[in-house]
Amino acid sequence: MLYSVHDDDGRIIMSNQVFDAEGYDKRLLDHGYKKFVADMHPGLRSHDHWFVQNKGHVKRPKMWVMVDKICIKAGGNDAAVFRGITKGVRLNIFGAGTLLHDLVMDDAELQLHIPVPCTYRVTFEKWPYRSKLFEIEAVA
């Protein structure tokens, strides 16, 4: 029996495959875990791909954001254009591990110009969608 403990939004925070499930509900409750579901799935389910909704495991929907190129020329008019962005998504842009931009998008497209050569990580996150990560290289 697969048990998944989750938060108020359905994020799985712990999964256990239990072979003798008798009394396991009580053990979870005794340890303070009030929100959990159980089903007969063999093995575990990835927290990145699944969440809990209506008392069951549900696949996290995909975001269909796409980018036209992952390598652009730094400093010129060249740009990477992202399309299909889900409204209300949180956009994070990292350069060399430093967070450079953090904003919530209302637009469906993003045009990114990069003046300084480096590899940049662009992430789109919105619950319960699966997060999307792109690496954009800006070359001299």
Partner 1 sequence: MTRLTLTIDGLAAWREDATRKINQAFAHHSSVDGHRTHAHARKREIANSVMNGGAAPDAFAEEAKLRSISVDALAKMIISKPAPIDAFELERQRRLIAIEQATTKDELDRIVLSGVSS
Say which residues have a Cβ less than 8 Å from residue 123's Cβ, sequence separation at least 6: 91, 92, 93, 94, 131, 132, 133, 134
Judged by CB under 8 A, does residue 76 bind partner 1?
A: no
User: CB 120 → partner 1: shortest distance, Å?
Assistant: 6
What SS3 class is residue 30?
Answer: helix
Residue from 5, 12, 89, 114 binding partner 1 (CB under 8 A): 114
- Tell me which stretch binds partner 1 (CB under 8 A): 14-22, 40-48, 49-57, 105-113: 105-113
Residue from 9, 25, 107, 135 binding partner 1 (CB under 8 A): 107
Q: Is 29 exposed, middle or buried (0-12, 13-18, 19+ CB in 10 A)?
A: exposed
Judged by CB under 8 A, does residue 106 bind partner 1?
A: yes
φ and ψ of 125, to 5 deg: -135, 130
- Tell me which stretch binds partner 1 (CB under 8 A): 27-35, 36-44, 58-66, 114-122: 114-122
Q: Which is nearer to partner 1, 13 or 139 (CB)?
A: 139
Judged by CB under 8 A, does residue 52 bind partner 1?
A: no
Is residue 93 within 8 A of residue 129, CB to CB? The reply is: no
Q: Which is nearer to partner 1, 8 or 106 (CB)?
A: 106
Say which residues have a Cβ less than 8 Å from residue 70's Cβ, sequence separation at least 6: 80, 134, 135, 136, 137
**Cβ atoms within 10 Å, residue 44:** 13
Q: Which residues make up the interface to partner 1 (CB under 8 A)?
A: 79, 81, 93, 95-96, 98-101, 105-118, 120
